[in-house]
Amino acid sequence: MAEEVILPLFNDTGVAITGGAASTGLKIRRGSDGYLFDWNDTTFKNAGWTTLSAVFTEIDATNVAGYYKKSGIAISGWNDGWYQVIATYSGTPTRNAAEDWLVKGGKIVEQRTADNLDAQVSLSALETTVQSILTDTAEIGAAGGGLTVLATQASVSGLNNLSAAQVNAEVVDVIATDTYAEVGAAPAATSSLKDKINWIFALARNKITQTATTQTLRNDADGANIATSPHSDDGSTHIRGEWN
């Protein structure tokens, strides 16, 4: 069965473009593999085309001005699937148009059009994606029993039902098992309970030096200061300032 493609050519003000056949082009892409049609031997290829683009014929510059056609496109031997029919005009102003053809049994059973290639949605790409999803879903079923074996909402919610013993074990682990690094400075008044406890531990365990004006808390290795505190005495009151 032979098909025909019509290409309307008008400028931006709606005036018909005549005598433009030599600047037209028609390409056909097979969606299943991306192969392009060779007009020379009427086969689809991924390389080595002799005639990749065919020109349109002007229908009638006087009575049907602005319309061009490409006839005799034999599709009876085409594989079932989607094809993109892409028309171009390289004159002034340039024009692009496209159609998606769904071919089954050597006939076009559905057509989708787009006024501009930039706006075209490739239905063949969508079909390929759907098929890929179906394939992946089948693989899930083969590997594990399908989507039905995934955790239900009830089983996921069950993870929140921790017993008192489990909570107690986690608390004991934090207190008795987990370790914490030595503080590196005096903690702020709003610091975490962990840092406050570590600070008290450092004060109780580490070396402290004292001069007439400064008390210094050394780190565990006695290689650096953790913090210092100013000291003063006016003869009646001894004052230890804030650690910093």
Query: Nearest to residue 74, comparing CAs of 5, 135, 6, 137?
Result: 5
pTM: 0.48
The DSSP line for 62-116 is TTEEEEEEEEEEE-TTSPSEEEEEEEEE-SSS-EEEEEEEEEETTEEEEEEEESS
pLDDT (tens digit per residue) in 182-208: 999 999 999 999 999 999 999 999 999
CA neighbor of 94 nearest in space, from 146, 25, 190: 25
pLDDT at 144 over 50: yes
Query: What share of the chain has pLDDT > 70, as a percent?
Result: 84
- List Cα–Cα distances, 102 to 78, 96, 240, in angstroms: 11, 20, 89
Closest among 121, 115, 123, 103 to 37, alpha carbons compared = 103
CA 64 to chain centre: 48
pLDDT tens digits, 24-69: 999 999 999 999 999 999 999 999 999 999 999 999 999 999 999 9
From 137, 119, 120, 139, select the one nearest 129 (Cα to Cα): 137
Query: Taking the mean position of all CA atoms in its chain, how far away is CA 143?
Result: 26
25 contacts 54 by C-beta, under 8 angstroms = yes
End-to-end CA distance of the chain: 91
Looking at residue 113, what is its pLDDT?
A: 79
| Cis amide bond preceding 230, omega within 30 | no
Distance from C-alpha of 221 to C-alpha of 136, rounded to nearest angstrom:
59
What does DSSP assign to residue 176?
I
Average pLDDT (119-130) is: 57
What's the pLDDT tens digit per position in 61-112? 999 999 999 999 999 999 999 999 999 999 999 999 999 999 999 999 999 8
What gap in Å lies between CA 73 and CA 133, rounded to an integer? 33
pLDDT in tens, 208-221: 999 999 999 999 99
